[in-house]
Amino acid sequence: MPPEEFRRYGHQVVDWIADYLAHPERYPVLPDVQPGALLDALPRAAPEQGEPMEAILDDFRRLIVPSITHWNHPGFLAYFATTATPPGILAEMLAAALNVNGMLWKSSPAATELEQVTLGWLRDWLGLPVDNFGIIFDTASISTMHAIAAAREAADPEVRLRGGSRNLVLYTSEQAHSSVEKGAVAIGIGQRNVRKIAADEVFRMRPDMLAEAVERDLASGLRPFCVAPTVGTTSTTSVDPLPAIGEIARRHRLWMHVDAAYAGMAAVAPEFRSLMDGAGQADSLVVNPHKWMGTPVDLSVLYTRRPDILRRAFSLVPEYLRTAQDDRVVNFMDYGVPLGRRFRSLKLWFVMRSLGRQGLAARVREHIAIAQQFADWVRGDPRFELCAPVPLSLVCFRKRGSDEENQALLDCLNRGGEVFLSHTVLNGRFVLRLAIGNHATGLRQVERAWELIRASA
């Protein structure tokens, strides 16, 4: 593509993005499509000859966009909403253009050093101790897998050589995200060696049950090595009692990995910092700027106070990747499985600079306030009930009645195209989740959602 043509289509694409971001609500939040529709609409074979950009962009608008779930839509209230803010989008364009591979310091000094700078800033915003080393991965799932691998390295360094992690046992709560168990599966800990500790009546891991489980495993000759509590669980945003869990971890020399993928970001607002009490003691912690922080997917950060162990778990340097600077620089490829690394810190830098800590704190604060308001509405309507405390910006609620009625209510709401909510199961009952995390979502949209919920009920 000649430069002039790139310029022309580049402007067209930026114009499309600007219009889209101005009015994502012009689209239904969930597309009205059946599974396989796009598969059928696209050719079975790739083109033999190159096609004109006009045709490609045309098909993007005509075929792709109608099959999109609009995460940018202010009525997107499902899962944990994520927001691609314009500064983050601009940085993604630049990162794509530079196309550096940040595997080594030498393969692009800026990619390495900007990652160090931004993750130092973020560590301070979250109130984490300065001895935390940060590294960017694509997702929290991968960050957590690396944390579990580091925990294994600390407990049994022979595994790296020998393979087979013999009798190591990992603890997490029954409310933990599936990524903890998946990480254990991926590195060969085995599902049988993952203990899902019971939660209390407000969905927090019970330290007494954790202590009991560890004692029981020790008594039967197993080797407890890691505990993974959560700050902001996926179903209800409950916060596990980190100080008490940390105490047990220290007593039994367990690696403590904190999953704060969504809720960690709330700590940018000083009044919510206490959610992270005890996190400073953790061996590692994951937080996702791509969730609540306006950074386009994907960007997850793993912090660890024991980077030497993480490095020991993964460093393997073939001759062709040795450089003269190796003893003076960080080569991020040494701290994990991926060799190639996108220049992800660029978008984090753009977002952090353009919003500032106060700008982000204001979003978090507003989202939490709106969720409290919504929870009050639910409490005030006898047809509905709240199903969990609301410490952050997620409300779990249901219509008093059967699971079938609640499923039907959710389907009816989501079919309308104005809002998208998701669900979970708590105490065996089907529960609706309304999660506020999109930067475009304000009180007005949530008021409208409540109107639709009552009408649908």
Q: How far is the CB of 41 from ligand PLP (least distance, A)?
A: 28
CA torsion, points 333, 336, 337, 342, in degrees to nearest 10? -50
Q: Which stretch binds ligand PLP (CB under 6 A): 159-167, 190-198, 229-237, 411-419?
A: 229-237
Among 72, 107, 108, 141, binds ligand PLP (CB under 6 A): 141
Contacts of 282 (CB under 8 A, 6+ apart): 242, 246, 256, 257, 258, 305
Among 80, 303, 350, 450, binds ligand PLP (CB under 6 A): 80
Give the integer Cα–Cα distance in Å for 117 and 122: 9
| Burial class of 280 by CB neighbour count within 10 A (0 to 12, 13 to 18, 19+) | middle
Closer to ligand PLP by CB, 107 or 235: give it. Answer: 235
Q: How far is the CB of 318 from ligand PLP (least distance, A)?
A: 29
Among all chains, which residue has been given the structure tokens 């309308």? 416
Closer to ligand PLP by CB, 173 or 414: give it. Answer: 173
Sheet with 284-287, strands from edge to edge, namely 133-137, 300-304, 284-287, 255-259, 223-228, 168-173, 194-197
Among 153, 181, 240, 259, binds ligand PLP (CB under 6 A): 259
Q: How far is the CB of 94 from ligand PLP (least distance, A)?
A: 23
Closer to ligand PLP by CB, 230 or 445: give it. Answer: 230
Length of the chain, please? Answer: 457
Give the integer Cα–Cα distance in Å for 250 and 265: 26
- Which 366-405 residues touch ligand PLP, going by CB under 6 A? none
Q: How far is the CB of 202 from ligand PLP (least distance, A)?
A: 16
Q: Which residues pair with 396 in a beta bridge?
A: 433
Encoded amino acid at 225, one letter = F
Give the integer Cα–Cα distance in Å for 78 and 241: 26
Q: Which stretch binds ligand PLP (CB under 6 A): 64-72, 259-267, 362-370, 411-419?
A: 259-267
Q: Which of 205, 286, 219, 184 is nearest to 247 (CA)?
A: 205
- Which 120-139 residues touch ligand PLP, going by CB under 6 A? 139
- Per-residue tokens: 236: 């209800």
For residues 260 to 299, the per-residue mask of contacts with ligand PLP, x marking binding by CB under 6 A and - elsewhere, is: -xx-------------------------x-----------
Q: Which stretch binds ligand PLP (CB under 6 A): 66-74, 210-218, 230-238, 379-387?
A: 230-238
Is residue 352 within 8 Å of 358, Cβ to Cβ?
no
Q: How far is the CB of 232 from ligand PLP (least distance, A)?
A: 6
Closer to ligand PLP by CB, 277 or 405: give it. Answer: 277
Residues engaged in binding ligand PLP (CB under 6 A): 80, 139-141, 177, 179, 230, 232, 234, 259, 261-262, 288, 300
